[in-house]
A and B are shown apart, each in its own frame.
Chain A
Amino acid sequence: MRADDVVPAPSLFPLRIHELRWQAGGRAVLDGLSMELGGEGITILLGPNGAGKSVLLRTLCGLLEADSGEIHWGGDGGRPEFGVAMVFQQPKMLRDSVLANVELALRPQRVPAAERRQRARAVLERVGLVHRADDGARGLSGGERQRLALARAWVTRPRLLLLDEPTASLDPSSVEAIERIVREIRTEGTRILMTTHNLGQATRLADDVVFMDAGRVCEHAPVQRFFARPASQAARLYIQGELPWRMAF
């Protein structure tokens, strides 16, 4: 079976999330969250620490099971086996070469070895790491490592890419490189849902913004309208840097 056969057709969208709840230590991290995502563009999740952004991404990725609520994935509504990829804030790399780390992502899809290698090299070329293909992945700098993580997700040709603060703690040139790659991935038709605390980055990348607070969606609006005329008081305060910080669990 080829990878192209198992990556689902565009049946993940519209992605409908209804009344999602998830608790940790007696605190509702997701508290009846509802939202809908269409099949194109970059959506930025904004919100204070502890708002539930990362938990939402992990739930969509299948790493966490919601206590209640529904996630309806386009088509027949069921969760797809492949087609959703995630990049973490601090990606973990195997003690192996850069190339091997990218190839790894294709193994669950049973992609033949020769095709794995060819696709991994191609994607490394696009993120500017092909010259380091044979180097140890753990020897990369923070920015290179994050580009490698993006390559590892991109090589699977996901329909939905979840990015959890991929540029946190990176220098400006690395941030610029990551943003360029994210735009390229989007251009190829991958839907992107990304968290960040960098409002400048949100204005540069986003088509629309979902603002979350206390486990709920307060506002979902096109990016320009969100920053020009935030509809909720919490979003206004957040943009002005005045939203009270809440204790994360």
Chain B
Amino acid sequence: MNGLTQAFSDAFALLTGFDQQVAGIVLLSLRVSGLAVLFGTLLGLPLGACLGVGRFPGRTALVVILNGCMGLPSVVVGVVVYLLLSRSGPLGELGLLYSPTAMVVAQSLLVVPLMAAIARQVVEDAWREYEEELTAMRFGWFDSVRVLLHDCRHSLLVAVLAGLGRAMSEVGAVMIVGGNIDRSTRTMTTAIALETSKGDLPLAIALGLVLLSVILLLNGFAHALRQWALRRYA
């Protein structure tokens, strides 16, 4: 019990002392996950919205595949990206393996389908509601997607949060393609896994607290935004 108390005490000391190592790991994690979520927002949300509105042969199969990709095992994605970026792989010449860029690629592959699948469901429900109105106003397919993406913006925050949650809590893929290299590709999750296995609990606890705080803060902000939107737009 004393050991645990001491570990927490040391963890708080690391946080309040603005430990350089902790700060570096946190910033890298935020950068990698933030970029993955940005790609998810720019690619996944429009892709999901297009699937939600569009009616074309093969759409059902695409929706099933997309929904299936929500549960992609991160280690499998890690291995695939590793094979692509390794020296003998098709993209090996880029020299991206064990770099933050490789981690962004891996996380994006996990986040984009997840955000697209949620966006597809949200936008499809809205399309059912607005289809007659928008068609009567002569909105084409592309303009309908734009209108619905804007109309569902507060609901789509859920997709962004889900993407962020997946990216920030992900450990398998970034461990494989990033290599968990100190001061280079070590993120909060990979550092926690490593430090715990080494028995260095204070650093693991400190990073865990930061990780939880970031997730809670962003969820709190999103919740407040949704509440404001509900009051503003009923």
Contacts and interface: CB of A to CB of B under 8 A. Distances in A.
Interface string B115-158: 00000000000000110110111111001000100110010000
Interface residues on B, range: 10 to 19
A139 interface: yes
Given A92-B129, A92-B133, A94-B147, A136 B138 contact: no
B148 to A, nearest CB: 9
B229 interface: yes
Given A95-B154, A108-B140, A136-B233, A63 B135 contact: yes
Interface string A60-90: 0111000000000000000001100110100
Given A105-B137, A136-B234, A63 B132 contact: yes
Given A107-B139, A107-B143, A152-B137, 11 more contacts: A81-B138, A95-B151, A95-B234, A96-B233, A97-B233, A104-B147, A108-B143, A136-B233, A138-B233, A139-B234, A156-B137
B198 interface: no
A98 B154 CA distance: 18
A88 B139 contact: no
Name the residue in B140, B150, B233, B234 with the highest tally of chain A Cβ atoms < 10 Å from its Cβ: B233
Nearest to A97: B233
Name the residue in A63, A91, A97, A137 with the highest tally of chain B Cβ atoms < 10 Å from its Cβ: A63
Contacts of B132: 58, 63, 88, 92
A198 to B, nearest CB: 23
Interface of B: 129-130, 132-133, 135-140, 143, 147, 150-151, 154, 229, 232-234
Nearest to B132: A63
Contact of A104 (B129, B137, B154): B137
A162 B140 CA distance: 20
8 contacts: A63-B135, A81-B138, A88-B133, A96-B151, A107-B147, A108-B137, A109-B138, A152-B137
Contacts of B133: 88, 91-92
B139 A95 contact: no
A211 B177 CA distance: 72
Interface in A134-184: 136-139, 152, 156
Contacts of B130: 92, 94
A88 B135 CA distance: 12
A156 B136 CA distance: 12
